Amino acid sequence: MTLLDTLIAFVIALLAGAFGSVLGIGGGLFIIPSLTLFLGEDLKTAIAASIVAVIATSLGGGNVYVRRHVADIRLGLLLALATAPSAVIGAILATHINARVLAGVFALVLAVSAYRMFQGLRASAAPVPETEDEPALSSRFRGSYFETSTGQTIRYRVRNVPIGIGASSVAGLISGMLGVGGGIVQVPVMNLIMSVPIKVATTTSTYIIGITAMAGAFVYYNHQPSYVDPALAIPVTIGVFIGASVGSRVLGRISQSALRTVFTAVVAIYAIQMLLRVFGIGAG
């Protein structure tokens, strides 16, 4: 890589880290197509660099959210137990599954997620009254956070925990295969299915995607030949870490509705990208 290539990779990662931290998706959504489009990097090399950078996003943004008591640590650790093993499987299978078939299924999942979030289903994640038949597992996950944009304390209860765990396994699989952090699936799952407020969902996703990414990065690094190119991964990781640190401080100023709108738009754009890949258009 030339000095200019290194600078371009750093700037791409800087912007991706900021957006990825705010939206809880790790930045891979922006890093992978940008590296392949502007630098002509091989797709698998870009995925490997993205997975390493996702770890930086989690470290740069996740610790801020934990200190501010916005991320749901207990829920995040539970979901991480499901995402990490499936991320390893996804990384191992990455070179054996037809990319167009995977892209088609992924595009459909994303399109449905974008549509449901656009419709505002459970958008506010309003607290649900307790009932006698409340599942024991779900009743253990209650939380609250201070919404700085409104000055209110928002209380919520996590619903459908078993379904969320299952969906998190899918998110881990996608993370390992595509290097996008898993948050692109996990955030809608937490918000729409588990009734977690969108801001808690994005911050919790940022908090746990590093665990998922570490599992997948190990596979890509140990592949012979290794897909992790230090000349690319280092500037990308540094850029993402700085960007994620900045983005995590911006999040508190964004309202719930604005954050949901931005996330819905990002999911829709990524769905289109995946659909184009089905027809062989775009990277990969």
At residue 117, the pLDDT reads 66
Most confident by average pLDDT, 36-50, 116-130, 253-267: 36-50
At residue 7, the pLDDT reads 93
CB atoms < 10 A from the CB of 260, how many? 23
Chain position carrying tokens 């740069």: 60
Cα separation, 55 vs 276, whole angstroms: 28
Cα separation, 202 vs 190, whole angstroms: 9
**pLDDT class of 24 with cuts at 50, 70, 90:** low
pLDDT reading at 135 higher than 60: no
Rounded to an integer, the average pLDDT of 26-52 is: 78
In this structure, of 128-132, 259-263, 268-272, the range with the lowest mean pLDDT score is 128-132
- The two three-digit tokens of residue 222, written as one number: 């140990």
**C-alpha closest to that of 208 among 185, 230, 226:** 185
Task: Domain ranges for the chain, please list them.
Answer: 3-278
List Cα–Cα distances, 229 to 1, 131, 202, 209, in angstroms.
Answer: 10, 54, 29, 21
- Please give the mean pLDDT across all residues of the chain: 77
pLDDT reading at 118 higher than 80: no
CB atoms < 10 A from the CB of 121, how many? 12
At residue 249, the pLDDT reads 75
Pick the more confident residue, 26 or 264: 264
Rounded to an integer, the average pLDDT of 3-28 is: 81
pLDDT reading at 44 higher than 70: yes
Rounded to an integer, the average pLDDT of 246-267 is: 74
Helix (H, G, I), strand (E, B) or coil at 147: strand
pLDDT tens string 63-103: 778 888 888 988 988 998 888 888 888 888 776 776 667 66
Rounded to an integer, the average pLDDT of 257-281 is: 75
At residue 10, the pLDDT reads 93
Cα separation, 166 vs 79, whole angstroms: 9
- The two three-digit tokens of residue 131, written as one number: 């009932």
**pLDDT class of 8 with cuts at 50, 70, 90:** very high
- Angle at alpha carbon of residue 60, lines to 196 and 57, rounded to 5°: 70
Cα separation, 181 vs 187, whole angstroms: 11
pLDDT reading at 283 higher than 70: no
At residue 235, the pLDDT reads 92
List Cα–Cα distances, 216 to 15, 56, 192, 238, 273, in angstroms.
Answer: 23, 14, 26, 19, 22
At residue 41, the pLDDT reads 82
As a whole-number percent, the residues of the chain with pLDDT over 70 amount to 81
At residue 147, the pLDDT reads 81
DSSP-H helix ranges across the chain: 3-23, 28-38, 43-57, 63-67, 73-93, 99-118, 136-139, 161-178, 183-188, 198-222, 230-250, 256-278
pLDDT tens string 194-223: 989 988 998 888 888 878 778 777 787 877
pLDDT reading at 128 higher than 50: no
